[in-house]
Amino acid sequence: MRIDPIQLTSKQSMFYDYKYNYQAVSDRFAYSPYEAGTWEERLSHLKNQTYPREGLADVLHEMNVRWQAPEQSLENIGKLRDEDSVVVIAGQQAGLLTGPLYSVHKIISVLQLAKQKEKALGKPVIPVFWLAGEDHDFDEINHVMMKNEGRMKKMTIDHIPETKASVSDIAIDQEKAPQWLRDVFLAVNETEYTQDFYLEVQRLLTQSETYSDFFAKLVYALFPDEGLVIVDAHDPSVRAIESPYFKTMINQNEKMAQGVYAALQKNRQQGYETLLDSEMEDAHLFYHRGIERILLTRDEEGDFRGKHNEVAFTKEELLQVAEESPEQLSNNVVTRPLMQEALFPVLAFIGGPGEINYWSALKPAFDAADLRMPPVLPRISFTLVDRKTEQSLEKFQIEANQAIRHGVAEQKLKWVASMSYPPIEQLSRQVKHEIARVHAPIREKSADFGADLEQLADKNLQYLLENIDFMEKRLNQSLEERHQYEMDLFDDIELTLHPLNGLQERVWGIVPWINQYGKGLFQQMNRHDLSFEHDHYVVYL
């Protein structure tokens, strides 16, 4: 395995400025992640804060034992009781088979930074993954993308929840899920790793009650020795610890919402993308009625209502819910970072471009809750290159950097054109030029007989030129058919490195790669020392 850094320029202006022009956006964050003094300063701040360490460690231990977490993870949970310990944290929804590759890349990022900062600071730094089990958009996580007949195909599980429930409340359909899993594995060619990995994943699936359980167990199978700690934010035991923090969010709700709204307006006025939707009346909290999750807003009287008037509470009534039944409340994207900060001694949060974009509007919410936003570090990003793809890049003299950024459609056209001499496009242009030259006297003479014949002559020329276009297209098709093998190689490069005109990590999942290189692939990647200064890494397998 060889891992080389490359530079990718982000298309998102906020993320670009955060990485390369931090001063332009520094007022939106509490720390610069690029200054050496940041980490000691943050550590000093954390020493003066109090956290529910004992209760949280008890809950995490029970939760992770249920997931059959590795011993190293349970040891790290014990370290959380140490007043000197801190955490590096990232989060994601519970995607099927971990979802797109960037979920695994986030985990590697957390493990890397925790290891680096523990060495640099001489304090226990625990890698934590916040599993957003309260999220209810099942359509976002109910599928994986698999390569099928030269394209990426969405393979969706045949399970439609009866209500809009949180993912951690959705029981796995143990009839449909195994069939879906079989179909996923049938989409890959059998290798020496296929059967063992399939049987292990099948076992984890049948032993899991919910999709969050399945996610956690699979992640621990992929990273058994790294000491990662997973927390399901939707676990009722976690909610019980969160009770006082929900009260703060209710009491400071209007101030938080106004601050976030104003920050978003500022971003818009300065030309930054606004990926976060937020209005002045948003409460940024959900209420759970049974397993239904209801988004709350604030009315003119300061009372809290469902967005579609499903429920209604006075402020005092909602505070009582937070006190007596905190499991009936959950956070949205605005208040989730605040809850994360309240529960854990967060040395750093790791996020992708979209997350950093919406975190840029959250500082007023942190301030209103009397919390301090942690350093925010862009996650590490990877593209995996298998041996066949690497050989194809070498064959056509294409830089991996170029293929990852822009794809290879242009190189494909140039290559096929170079297989014809003279090039078909050039030959077509020459023929068109000659036809137009020879046709000119007819057009000139037609003009003498009136406008009608002049128009007819122009149409006649256009017809002749269109026929040349048709012949050019057919000749190119014939040329491509003659070189179908090479055309397929170009298509494979495109599908592997630039699928759906984007990064591999946003489309591909883990199964094809583990099937080819074994379950230890991502552990191998994590054994490398990876700097957060680089935009992107190319992993040659």
pLDDT in tens, 31-40: 999 998 999 9
Mean pLDDT value of segment 487-508 = 95
The domains of the chain are located at 1-8+51-234+509-541, 237-276+315-379, 387-503
Mean pLDDT value of segment 233-243 = 96
What are the C-alpha distances in Å from 396 to residues 324, 389, 420, 489? 66, 11, 16, 10
Please tell me the predicted confidence (pLDDT) of residue 475: 75
When the pLDDT of each residue in the chain is averaged and rounded to a whole number, the result is 94
What does the pLDDT look like over 185-219, one tens digit per residue? 999 999 999 999 999 999 999 999 999 999 999 99
What is the number of other CB atoms lying within 10 angstroms of the CB of residue 29?
20
Say if strands 304-306 and 292-298 run parallel, antiparallel, or are unpaired: antiparallel
Handedness of CA 458, 460, 461, 466 (dihedral sign): positive
93 Cβ partners below 8 Å, 6+ apart? Answer: 99, 131, 132, 135, 137, 140, 141, 167
Question: Can you tell me the distance from the alpha carbon of 429 to that of 425, in angstroms, rounded to the nearest whole number?
Answer: 6
**Which phi and psi angles does 399 have, rounded to 5°?**
-75, 135
From 262, 272, 256, select the one nearest 18 (Cα to Cα): 272
Q: What are the residues facing 384 on neighbouring strands?
A: 539
Has residue 292 got a pLDDT over 90? no
317 Cβ partners below 8 Å, 6+ apart? Answer: none
Per-residue pLDDT band at 272 (split at 50, 70, 90):
very high
Q: Please say whether the beta carbons of 538 and 6 come within 8 A.
A: yes
Please tell me the predicted confidence (pLDDT) of residue 432: 84
Q: Is 218 helix (H, G, I), strand (E, B) or coil?
A: helix
Lowest mean pLDDT across 8-17, 238-247, 388-397: 8-17
Per-residue pLDDT band at 421 (split at 50, 70, 90):
low
Question: Can you tell me the distance from the alpha carbon of 508 to that of 502, in angstroms, rounded to the nearest whole number?
Answer: 11
Beta-sheet strand order (sheet of 536-540): 2-6, 536-540, 382-385
Please tell me the predicted confidence (pLDDT) of residue 427: 67
Mean pLDDT value of segment 172-180 = 94
Length of the chain: 541
Mean pLDDT value of segment 91-110 = 96
Please tell me the predicted confidence (pLDDT) of residue 165: 81
Mean pLDDT value of segment 402-406 = 96
Name the E strands within 26-172.
86-92, 125-131, 143-148, 151-156
Per-residue pLDDT band at 445 (split at 50, 70, 90):
confident
Q: Please say whether the beta carbons of 112 and 65 come within 8 A.
A: no
Please tell me the predicted confidence (pLDDT) of residue 527: 97
Any alpha helices (H) in 160-314, and if so which ranges?
Answer: 176-186, 194-206, 211-222, 236-251, 253-269
Mean pLDDT value of segment 18-43 = 95
Please tell me the predicted confidence (pLDDT) of residue 420: 66
Please tell me the predicted confidence (pLDDT) of residue 163: 74
Tokens of 453: 């014949």
Please tell me the predicted confidence (pLDDT) of residue 471: 84
Q: Say what the pTM is.
A: 0.90
**Which phi and psi angles does 35 have, rounded to 5°?**
-100, 135
Q: What are the residues facing 348 on neighbouring strands?
A: 88
Has residue 166 got a pLDDT over 70? yes
Question: Can you tell me the distance from the alpha carbon of 310 to that of 298, in angstroms, rounded to the nearest whole number?
Answer: 13
What does the pLDDT look like over 353-381, one tens digit per residue? 999 999 999 999 999 999 999 999 999 99
Mean pLDDT value of segment 262-280 = 94
Amino acid at 127: P
From 318, 299, 303, select the one nearest 246 (Cα to Cα): 318
What does the pLDDT look like over 319-356, one tens digit per residue? 999 999 999 999 999 999 999 999 999 999 999 999 99
Q: Is 223 helix (H, G, I), strand (E, B) or coil?
A: coil
